[in-house]
Each structure stands twice: as structure tokens, then as C-alpha cells.
Structure 1
Amino acid sequence: MIKRILILASAIIIGQFSHAQQAKTPQPDYLALDKAINSVSAVMIHDVVNPPAAARYYNYFMMGAYNLVTLHNKDIVPIGNFIKSYKIDNTISLPANSYDYRIAAVYSILELGKQMLPSGFMLQDDEDKYIELLKKNNIAEAVIKSSVAVAVEMSNKVIAFSRSDNYNRLSGKLRYTPVKGGKNWYPTPPMYMEAVEPNWKTVRPMMIDSAQQFIPVRPTPFSTDSTSEFYRQAYEVYKISQHPSTEQLNIASFWDCNPFAVTTSGHMMIGFKKISPGGHWMNIAGIAVKKANLSFDASVQVLALEGITLMDAFISCWDEKYRSNGIRPETYINRYIDVKWMPFLQTPPFPEYPSGHAVLSNASATVLSYLLGDHFAYADDSEIPYGVGPRSFKSFMQAAEEASVSRFYGGIHFKDAIENGNSQGRQVGADIVKKLKAAQLKPLMSN
């Protein structure tokens, strides 16, 4: 059981930050947002939460903190100004001078995780330790009590909003039945797991208008003809797997982010739990706000907007995955090129087109670039707990490009799924940025 994920990073920031958004003094340890996020991430890893669901959780876990910040900082645009469906009254019953909204914001991340995750009860220990940390920092008992009460009150408001997003109706949908043969996706070794979230397109998005708003161009037509474009793309995956460079394998491993990979040893199957793709990008956002020395309020803003972006990116991506229902390289290559071939990375249990990494990484990079600049350099060691990394990037878009091509190096995506997924992700991100601009939510950094 993984109880903690320690995400440490070093980075270089290029550009000029708004002085109003920079922390004037070092933040006390009890206001460390990354510790609370790492705690909920650890429980999601324990629960093997799938990638789309993990993105949804990150979205809601940060929403309570964002709402609390907007109540006390009029420079932060209220969430209802750019999320049309958000009609919740964020009024808090306790007087503003009776609690510390920053403490309440951190506690709300833990509280939302405790109430929403299947094994959320595990976060009770984190909440207890957080209260002890506050006491060690000489925070008055009355302030602690009031701050916790406010965190719970706001968390309940967020949960009420989350219950209207159709997630609770997914279990009532018809189960997905894979179609064997032809162009269709089919479960892959070694577990032959059933399709992940085939009805995710029915979940309500946060900022994009609908799951169908950014349907990508059609994938390359399926063909078994060795002279066809589809066969060429499959052979390209096969060929690069024969003699990959060390750097290509490092890139594939760094961006693996498979919540539950399985390896076999004789008659035994051994599972490995990792952080989700969305969790990796939440870590990147966390690295960025710390290295930019952003104020607490501005940090919450960046992390909350990243959570929103992840949720919408997965909804848009998953809509297309189960429309095109594309076959994975592993299945195609085993049938038509090499029956014994295996990809470097384990094939995820859902259709191939488009690449989820391409969509969510480019959407995230687009929004983070708007907030923090096009030339934000940083070092990412999010994967150190899993024996990989760190890697350095000159910008968020460079990281997104690498995350996308990593799936080709890993043998689990064709090139068109990556290239068209990149475009789809940038469209999702651009739409979110357009709506943030319309709501007068300005960048935190000028290039």
C-alpha cells in the first residue's frame, strides 16, 4: 500500500511575474498545497482509479479551495464566471474573521478526497496530522476549529455540485461488449481487462460546451493490405520497437503513468500501481507554482484550472475513443505482422484513437502556458517514486510534445492518434483560455 507520494522538483523560471501574485514571504509548511494533493493522489493510487475518473476527482478536490480563495480575494475570478453550470451559493455561515481561509482551503482538499474516494477514509489520518501540524505552528484552537468547519461546509457544496454531473449514472449504463476482429478495439494481454469508462462522454464537462465539441479528423482507414497507410503506420510502430534508443525508452518510461500495470512471472501476475496521467500534470502544475514563488491564492488558481482542464480533456478524448473504437498496435501487429511481438509499455484497456496523453497534455500545456508563459522552463521529477526521471523542459508545450510521442515509443499508439490528439488537445485548451479571457481571468506571467 502506498501511503505517500513525495514529489520534489527543481526548475528555472523565465519571464516576469506579477508582483501581486508572488509570495512576499515563504509559505509556512501548513499551507503546502502539494502535500494535500499528494495525499489524495496516494489514495487514488491505492484505489487504482482510472485516468478519466482521476481527472474528475482532481477537478473537484481543487474546487473547494478555489471557492474559498475567491471569497477572500476579489482579484480571483469566481468560478461561476467561467463555468456556466456552477450555480452553487458559496456563502459560508461563519464570519470571515473567525477562520483562516487558507487553512480551510488546504483542509478542503483532504475533506473532499475523504468524502468522494472509495477509500477516502484513509485520509482521516492525514486530516488528523494536519491539525497537529497547525497546533505545532501555534494556530489558535478556535481558528483551527472554525477553519475545519468552513472546509467541511464548502466541501459539501462542491459535492452537491458534483452529484449533478451524471457520473453517478454511469453504473446504470449498458456494459461495453468488445467486437472481435476487424478494426475494432479488443482487450489486450496480459489481463485482457474490460474497457475503461465507455460512457464517459455522458459526464458533464466544466468549460467546453459538450463532449462532441472538438471531434478530431477521422483516423486512418483500417486495412490489412501491406501497401496501405494503416499497415505502414503499424509497421512504423513495430520497426521502432526493434532498435529503440536509450533516450526513446527513457521518454516512454517517464510518461507511462499506467495506474495499474501487470507483469507475469511464471504462473504469477504482479501488479504495479502508478500515478495517473492527470496526476502527473497536476504535479507539473504544482512544480510550476512553487518555482514561480506564486502566492497561496495564485497557486490555488493555477492548480484548480489545471484540474478543470484535465476533466474536460478526458471527456473530449473519451468521446472519440468509443466513436472510432480503434484497434491497438499490439492487436494489429500480433494478427498481421508478428504474432510474438509485445510493446515496451503495457497497452491500456481502452480504444486507441486518439491518444489520451496527446489530448490531455496539449490541453494542459495550452492553459498553463496562458497562465505562466510560453517559455516556462522547469525540471520534472514526478516519476522518481517509480524509478524514472527527472527530465527538464524549456516549456509546457515541449513537455506535451514529448508526452505525446512517448506513446509511439512505447508501442501503444499509431502516429495519427498522436498527431490528431495533439490538435484536439490544443483546441480544448484554447477554448478554455478563450473563456477565461472572457471572464477577465488574466495571465499570472508575461512573456
Structure 2
Amino acid sequence: MRYFILISLVFIHTARGQKPTPDPVQHLQPTVFALTMVMIHDVANPPAASRFYTYCLLGAHEIVAQHTPEIPPATQFIRSFKTIPVESSAPYNHQIAALFCMLETGRLMLPSGYMLEEEQQKLTESLRKEGYTNAMITQAKTVADGVAKKIVAYAAADHYLKLSTRLRYRPIRGDGFWYPTPPGYMEAIEPHWRTIRPMLIDTCSQFRAEPPVAFSNDSTSAFYKLAYEVYHEGKNLDEKKRFIASYWDCNPFAINTSGHMMIGFKKISPGGHWMNITSIATRKAGLDFARSIQVHTLVAATLMDAFISCWDEKYRSNRIRPETVINRFIDPRWQPLLQTPPFPEYTSGHSVISTAVAEVLTYLMGDHFAFTDDTEVLFDMPTRDFQSFREAAAEAAISRLYGGIHYRDAIESGQKQGSAIGAFVIEKVKKAGIKPIR
């Protein structure tokens, strides 16, 4: 009798399209990384990359939330989001559907999204080898495609598509304002990003940073001392500081010059680095599929809002970069270790987003969650061991001083801004009923 009941339960479980083993969570990190690789190929700028991650995860989160009572729907913490009904004419595996939804959303949204078609096929083949039937995979894909289309429609209303219709940015005249920097002298990136609809915070200026130290070329002024600190650090870097700066470079498109020749190198974005850290952490913690999706979604949304908040300040203060100041007033031959990014200096973007995400991950996973970061192995860097998310964020922040691309006050104000954003997100997810995992 017991044998009959067991067989019946397995039959019912399989008939509903829910295979008990293996757990598709093993496919989550490769799926997120597949999105990252296409963004690297497309040279997605840091704010745009955070947006792509958010929407790709949002659909997957909704599919999971509608099948997992302990996962609150995104309507509980995303300000303007409305429930997306998941429609299906037959039972389906919601975990597989969530994975395909991430890839399909990326396929529809990313400039080179067609590259994800190969990833979809790879995932299909892997699932077949694991014992999932063609019928189960096909039904999951059908659900995923439907949700992805609705997510893309929701994303289209966030003002991103209007950015290209706005007037091109022109640098402001004046000694203290940002001006394009060598070697590429590229145009300012996303000067109107503040107009993008936030996901968690109320407005782009909700966490406005304190005003930066006022510009002055007087050698006794506070600003000149900030600039000289960057100059002095750059002239006296030891191997440890050089390594830290290079490790957290996260410049999606760096240009190397040799004579009249310029060579571009593509790298991961700051947000991409933290998305991979999130994958590493959820895997180490042994989280199930649903909770892993939840953590990734919250990190992506935090990244997106942190960039919106930071970019609002960048184009408000419009502050000049250290490289420009040092070349004009201190040493015309000085060069920073890292290539100066093409947008205003204050506040430090990596400081803001790293601190914000570290606070959210600390709430979810614990204050002393040690992990080994292998994100930069792809770019010929070794793995790094960190004892906590906050330790990693603090190192990412100070790396900007060592790299010669930020003044100290932009780093410290960026950390304060990121901490405030992180605290706000934590309070919001608490109200939504999302509890720490530890």
C-alpha cells in the first residue's frame, strides 16, 4: 500500500510538469553570466547594464513568486509594478520557465540579444540530458516567452527609449566643470539617466549627496589638497594598491594607445561584478532556486536605483575629474593608473553602488559572509578572498583613489549615499516580508 502511494505521488508530481530532481538552481549562475557576456560584447555602459539585469530578473522573479508562497511578489517592493499574470494552457515547471524568461527578456532587450538564442539552445540540451522531457521544456518556454513580452512592455515605459531623443550633452564652460578626458575624449555617458523610472526608491534625488568641496586652483585650498592627494597616490603606488585598483577597474571599454593606434578592451561593468558576487554567495549558501532568484532580483534592482541616484548627482555637480585638474595645475605629464571614465566625477559610482548592494546582501546573507570572488579570472586576474560584502565594497570604493579617477570626498560621500540607499531598500523589503536567510 505504501509502495502504491509513493508511486502515485511521483506520478502526480511528474504529470504536473514538476521534476523532483535535479534542482535547476545549478543553471542560474550560468544564465546570469550569459547575460553578462552579451553586455560585455555590446559594451553596455554601467547604468544601462543595471537596467538590463533588473528586467531580466524581474520576469523570472514573478514566475517563481506565483508558485512559491514564501516569496513575496514584486508588487510588494517595486513601486510602479503591477502583477503579471502567468498564463499557461497546461502545467509547467516554473523553475525552468524562470530561466528561459531571463534569457528571452535579454534576447528581446539587449542590442545583441540574438546571441542568447545559442544559450537558450544550450540550456535546452542540458535539461534534456538531465531527464526533462521535450514537452516540459516546450511548455516552460511558452510561459517564459509570454512573461518576457510583458516585462519588455513594462520596461518600455521607464523613459529609456526617450533618452536618444534628448539634446546631446555639451560640457559646461568653467574651470571646475567636467570635460572629456584622454585618451578617447569620449562624450558624456547617460547625461539624462536621472529621468529613468526608479524601481525601489521614490525619486532620483531622494538620496541627494552633500555638496562637493568647491573647486579652487589655490594651492592652499581644500580642493587643491584633494587633487594633490590623488596625484601623490598615483606617483607612489605600491603593488598592493596597484592590484586593488586594477581588480575593481570594471571599465566596460578601456582604450590603450600605441603611437597613432588605439585598441579597445572590453570588461565587465561594476554592476556585472556584483551580480557575479551575488551568484557566488547564493551558491555557497546553498540557497534553493526560489530564494536565489529573489536575492539576484533585489541586488539588480538596488543596482539600478543606485545608478539613478548617483547619476542624478553626477550631472548636478558636474565636477571636473582629477586627471584634468592635475594636468592643468600640477603636472601636465601625469596619468592615472586607470582610464578616466567619460562622465562627471562626483559622486563615485563604484562607491555608491558597491556600498548599497553590500548593505542589502549583508541584510540577506549575514555580516560575516566570507566568499571567494572569481569574477576577474576571465580578465587574467586571480581570485580574491573577502570576509564580508562590506569589506569588498570598501575596497572597491578606495580603489578609485588608487586608480587616480576620484577624489577622496567623492568616494566617502558616495559611500554615504550608497549606505542610505541600501538602508532604504532593506526597510522596504522588510515591509514586504522578506527575511534574512541566515
Please indicate, yes or no, whether the TM-score normalized by the shorter chain is above 0.5.
yes
What's 1:81 paired with?
76
What's 2:57 paired with?
62
Contact 2:100/2:120 (<8 A) preserved: yes
CA distance, structure 2, for counterparts of residue 221 and residue 130 of structure 1: 54
**Residues 179 and 62 (structure 1 numbering): CA distance in 2 closer, same or farther, change over 3 Å?**
same
Q: 1:88-107 to 2 correspondence within 5 Å?
A: 88-95=83-90, 98-107=91-100
Instruction: Report SS of the residue matched to 1:385.
Output: helix
CA distance, structure 1, for counterparts of residue 151 and residue 197 of structure 2: 15
For residue 429 of structure 1, the aligned residue among 422, 425, 431 is 422
CA distance, structure 2, for counterparts of residue 36 and residue 59 of structure 1: 14
- Work out whether 1:283 is the aligned partner of 2:279: no
CA distance, structure 2, for counterparts of residue 224 and residue 367 of structure 1: 39
What's 1:121 paired with?
114
Deviation of residue 68 (structure 1)? 0.8
Deviations 1:419-442 (A, max 9, x none): 000000010111111111111111
Q: 1:154-165 to 2 correspondence within 5 Å?
A: 154-165=147-158
Q: What residue identity is the alignment partner of 1:110?
A: L
Deviations 1:44-75 (A, max 9, x none): 11111100000000111111111111011000
CA distance, structure 2, for counterparts of residue 271 and residue 180 of structure 1: 29
Deviation of residue 89 (structure 1)? 2.9
What's 1:397 paired with?
390
Deviation of residue 28 (structure 1)? 4.7
Instruction: Report SS of the residue matched to 2:256.
Output: strand
Deviation of residue 94 (structure 1)? 3.1
CA distance, structure 1, for counterparts of residue 392 and residue 205 of structure 2: 26
What's 1:39 paired with?
34
CA distance, structure 1, for counterparts of residue 23 and residue 423 of structure 2: 35
Q: 1:169-188 to 2 correspondence within 5 Å?
A: 169-188=162-181
CA distance, structure 2, for counterparts of residue 241 and residue 83 of structure 1: 42
What's 1:193 paired with?
186
Deviation of residue 317 (structure 1)? 0.2
What's 1:7 paired with?
none
Deviation of residue 88 (structure 1)? 3.7
Contact 1:88/1:157 (<8 A) preserved: no
What's 1:340 paired with?
333
CA distance, structure 2, for counterparts of residue 320 and residue 27 of structure 1: 47
What's 2:301 paired with?
308
For residue 50 of structure 1, the aligned residue among 45, 48, 62 is 45
Deviation of residue 381 (structure 1)? 1.4
CA distance, structure 2, for counterparts of residue 377 and residue 26 of structure 1: 29
- Work out whether 1:413 is the aligned partner of 2:406: yes
Q: 1:134-153 to 2 correspondence within 5 Å?
A: 134-153=127-146
Deviations 1:225-249 (A, max 9, x none): 0000000010000001112111101
Q: Looking at both structures, which has the greater relative contact order when contacts are Cα pairs under 8 Å and sequence separation is at least 6?
A: 1
- Work out whether 1:253 is the aligned partner of 2:250: no
Runs of 5+ consecutive residues of structure 2 not aligned to the other structure: 1-19
Instruction: Give the fraction of aligned pairs with identical amino acids, expressed as a percent.
Output: 53
What's 1:369 paired with?
362
Q: Please identify, of 196-205 and 122-131, the stretch whose mean Cα deviation from structure 2 is larger.
A: 122-131
Question: With structure 1 as the length reference, what TM-score do the two structures score?
Answer: 0.92
RMSD of equivalent CA atoms: 1.3
Deviations 1:344-365 (A, max 9, x none): 0000000000000000000000
CA distance, structure 2, for counterparts of residue 218 and residue 136 of structure 1: 58
Contact 1:212/1:319 (<8 A) preserved: yes
CA distance, structure 1, for counterparts of residue 118 and residue 176 of structure 2: 48
CA distance, structure 1, for counterparts of residue 25 and residue 376 of structure 2: 24
Deviation of residue 29 (structure 1)? 6.3
Contact 2:368/2:388 (<8 A) preserved: yes
Instruction: Report SS of the residue matched to 1:383.
Output: helix
Contact 1:30/1:133 (<8 A) preserved: no
CA distance, structure 1, for counterparts of residue 183 and residue 160 of structure 2: 29
CA distance, structure 1, for counterparts of residue 410 and residue 21 of structure 2: 44
**Residues 399 and 30 (structure 1 numbering): CA distance in 2 closer, same or farther, change over 3 Å?**
closer
Deviation of residue 26 (structure 1)? 8.7
Q: How many positions carry a matched residue from both structures?
A: 419
Deviations 1:59-98 (A, max 9, x none): 1111111111101100001100111200143232334xx2
CA distance, structure 1, for counterparts of residue 378 and residue 219 of structure 2: 42
What's 1:13 paired with?
none
Instruction: Report SS of the residue matched to 2:375.
Output: coil
What's 1:349 paired with?
342
Q: What residue identity is the alignment partner of 1:346?
A: Q
4+ residue segments displaced more than 6 Å = none
Question: With structure 2 as the length reference, what TM-score do the two structures score?
Answer: 0.94
- Work out whether 1:238 is the aligned partner of 2:200: no
Contact 1:195/1:350 (<8 A) preserved: yes
Deviations 1:149-196 (A, max 9, x none): 011111112111111111111111111001344110000001100000
Deviation of residue 133 (structure 1)? 1.5
**Residues 208 and 382 (structure 1 numbering): CA distance in 2 closer, same or farther, change over 3 Å?**
same
